[in-house]
């Protein structure tokens, strides 16, 4: 069986007395396969959470920045938010990272953190906030599916011979 090359599922881990938290083993495995020896972390642009990842996340950031001319106002604000406010964190041999206070405050983290897979990246959430966010996401998906229902059926691939 081939291992996944993306972050999936969610896990909640405790922060220890020194403020360290263990990156879930499946997420560490993805980072290892990605070849990234540190974890890149920045405050999410869209949520009170932290965006985290390896080369795949950094590549996505580079793609966003490449849409703007160098030295443009847009490039400057995006690079400040995505690179200037981020950090490369080194995990210890047990897979724990130390989250700086500013990151814990931004995400509202206390004694637990929920790691949420999002494919090329993962997020770190305060568990209660994540439960609310997950329910809102499910509701939005249900609404979108209803909106796309009639349109989507016509756009779906048909079985062989269905239109012939």
pTM higher than the cut 0.85: yes
The phi, psi pair for 67, rounded to 5°, reads -75, -15
Which option is the CATH number for 10-127: 1.10.10.10, 3.30.1180.20, 2.60.120.260, 3.40.1550.20? 3.40.1550.20
Q: Which pLDDT tens digit goes with each residue over 61-104?
A: 999 999 999 999 999 999 999 999 999 999 999 999 999 999 99
Whether 150 shows a pLDDT value over 80: the answer reads no
Q: Which pLDDT tens digit goes with each residue over 18-64?
A: 999 999 999 999 999 999 889 999 999 999 999 999 999 999 999 99
How buried is residue 27: exposed, middle or buried, by Cβ count under 10 Å (0-12/13-18/19+)?
A: buried
**Bridge partners, 53 (sequence order):** 40
């Amino acid at each position: 069986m081939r291992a996944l090359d993306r972050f999936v599922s969610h896990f909640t881990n405790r922060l220890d007395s020194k403020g360290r938290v263990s990156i879930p083993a499946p997420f560490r495995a993805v980072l290892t396969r990605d070849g990234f020896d540190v974890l890149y972390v920045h405050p999410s642009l869209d949520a009170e959470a932290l965006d985290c990842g390896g080369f795949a996340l950094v590549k996505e950031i580079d793609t966003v920045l490449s849409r703007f001319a160098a030295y443009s106002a847009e490039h400057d604000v995006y690079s400040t938010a995505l690179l200037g406010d981020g950090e490369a964190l080194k995990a210890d041999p047990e897979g724990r990272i130390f989250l700086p206070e500013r990151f814990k405050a931004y995400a509202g983290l206390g004694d637990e953190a929920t790691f949420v897979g999002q494919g090329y990246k993962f997020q770190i959430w305060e568990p209660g906030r994540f439960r609310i966010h997950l329910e809102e996401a499910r509701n939005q998906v249900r609404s979108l599916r209803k909106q796309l229902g009639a349109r989507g059926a016509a756009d779906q691939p048909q079985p062989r011979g269905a239109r012939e």
